[in-house]
Structure 1
């Protein structure tokens, strides 16, 4: 039979392990809230997304990424944008993005082109390349749809 001291030590060890596990999860994942309609119909205003933090070189075409908003478009305190990757390094620059991307025929290393699912989205057609360093991560699932209880 365990003594009270052994029980306390076991509980403390379990608590420490749980705290370390939560810290590791927090470093790997984060939750963001969608603001606006640029990803409609895939995501609605108010949807919460679980985002796996990753480096941009691990992003594939058509994945939904969260990245730092270009400084010239920051307003209302928004810092992050949610968009779908349209082209990754080495891919041809999509025709509708050529003007914003400049003379490049292929997406250069360290850059991405993104597009919102809503055709009226503010995306790479307006601001050009997204630096890979500005990518927070990839949306892996919706935690709550807007309007759900």
Structure 2
């Protein structure tokens, strides 16, 4: 009888150790996920059509929050930034500090050289009413002849339907939350962003 009770006590102790081990594992995983979410990556739901055809209304994206802590934003990156205290926008960086920008005949000119915008070429070609990107120069829309240090110039990919640097001015680099890395929802729209 004594031996049976000792065996029961050992089994209970093993179960307690096993349960405690699982609780610790789950707690560690939850802490790690929280840290990753808080400091490295986060997700957003995109509202509106300003980034079509690249990103559509209602898609969910993953944003890398650490990239610009260790590096600088690059031209054509898709970024989330604080537009107001309550609202974040997603747009594409067109100009980085020191860039001179103008558009003429639907062509982007950076520092005097034309640049292809492959990310909008199909969408632009389907556009039927006039120019996809109206002609403008940086001076006309911001009063500056080049993008100032500490700022970027951003545009939505859907140039006819985007509230961007043409209207709100430059975006402070310190207001950028992070770079959009991928769309994960809905699954049929899953894709990585290369710029």
Picking from 97, 100, 104, the partner of 1:93 is 100
* 1:15-94 matches, cutoff 5 A: 15-27=26-38, 28-54=40-66, 55=68, 58-70=72-84, 79-90=87-98, 92-94=99-101
Query: What do the CA deviations read for 1:52-83 (whole angstroms, capped 9, x no partner)?
Result: 11337532110100111147xxxxxx611110
Query: What do the CA deviations read for 1:13-34 (whole angstroms, capped 9, x no partner)?
Result: 2122111211122112111111
Partner SS for 2:140: helix
* 1:7-22 matches, cutoff 5 A: 7-22=18-33
Deviation at 1:145, TM superposition (A): 4.0
**Structure number, greater radius of gyration:** 2
Q: Which is further off, 56-65 or 135-144?
A: 56-65
Q: CA RMSD in A?
A: 2.5
Query: What do the CA deviations read for 1:90-122 (whole angstroms, capped 9, x no partner)?
Result: 3x13123332332343x2221111011012221
- More helix as a share of residues: 2
Change (3 A) 1:146 1:19: closer
TM-score (norm 2): 0.63
Unaligned runs of 5+ in 2: 1-10, 103-135, 190-195
Contact in 2 for aligned 1:47/1:146 (Cα 8 Å) = no
Q: Distance in 1 between matches of 2:21 and 2:163?
A: 53
Contact in 2 for aligned 1:44/1:145 (Cα 8 Å) = no
Matching residue of 2:153 = 113
Partner SS for 2:159: coil
Q: Distance in 1 between matches of 2:51 and 2:32?
A: 32
Change (3 A) 1:15 1:82: same
